[in-house]
Homo-oligomer: A and B are copies of this chain.
Amino acid sequence: MLNVKTPEEVLRLIKSEFQALDTCETVPISEALGRVLTEDITADEYVPDFDRSTVDGYALRARDTFGCSDAAPAVLMFAGEVMMGSGARVSVEKDSCAYVPTGGAIPQGCDCVVMIEYTEDYGDGTVGILKPGAPGMNLIFRGDDVFPGKTVLKAGRVLAPQDIGALAAIGKWEVPVRPRLRVGVISTGDELVPANQKPGPGQVRNVNSPMLAALLTEHGAEAVDFGIVTDDEKLLWEKTRAATESCDAVILSGGSSAGVRDAACRIIDSLGELLLHGIAMKPGKPTILGKVGNKPLIGLPGHPVAAFFAAKLFVVPLLAQLEGRRQRSYPVKAKLGESLNANHGRMQISACRMESAGGELVAFPVHSKSGLITQLAGSDGFMMIGRDCEGAAKGSETDVYWS
Q: Which residues of A contact B (CB under 8 A)?
A: 29-30, 33-34, 43, 47-50, 54, 56, 82-88, 101-105, 140, 144-146, 152-154, 157, 160-171, 173, 189-192, 195-196, 198-215, 217-218, 231, 255-259, 302-304, 308, 328, 330, 332-333, 351, 354, 356, 361, 368-374, 376-380, 403
Contact = CB atoms under 8 A, between A and B. Distances in A.
Q: This chain: how many copies in the complex?
A: 2
A127 B189 CA distance: 27
Given A201-B86, A379-B162, A56 B257 contact: yes
A50 B145 CA distance: 66
A294 to B, nearest CB: 26
Contacts of A258: 56, 102
10 contacts: A54-B370, A83-B202, A85-B190, A87-B200, A102-B258, A162-B211, A164-B211, A164-B214, A166-B376, A167-B377
B206 A145 contact: no
Given A213-B30, A379-B162, A171 B198 contact: yes
Given A165-B308, A169-B207, A333-B333, A202 B370 contact: no
A169 B217 contact: no
B206 A168 contact: yes
A374 B145 contact: yes
Contact of A373 (B85, B169, B189, B210): B169
Most-contacted residue by chain B among A47, A302, A354 (CB, 10 A): A47
A308 to B, nearest CB: 6
Contact of A145 (B213, B256, B368): B368
A332 B374 CA distance: 27
Contacts of A302: 102-103
Contact of A189 (B85, B86, B256, B304): B85
A224 to B, nearest CB: 13
Contacts of A213: 30, 164
A218 B154 CA distance: 21
Given A102-B257, A157-B378, A195-B171, A165 B203 contact: no
Given A33-B214, A103-B257, 10 more contacts: A29-B214, A33-B218, A83-B202, A102-B258, A157-B378, A165-B210, A168-B211, A169-B304, A173-B196, A330-B332
A328 B259 CA distance: 41
A153 to B, nearest CB: 5
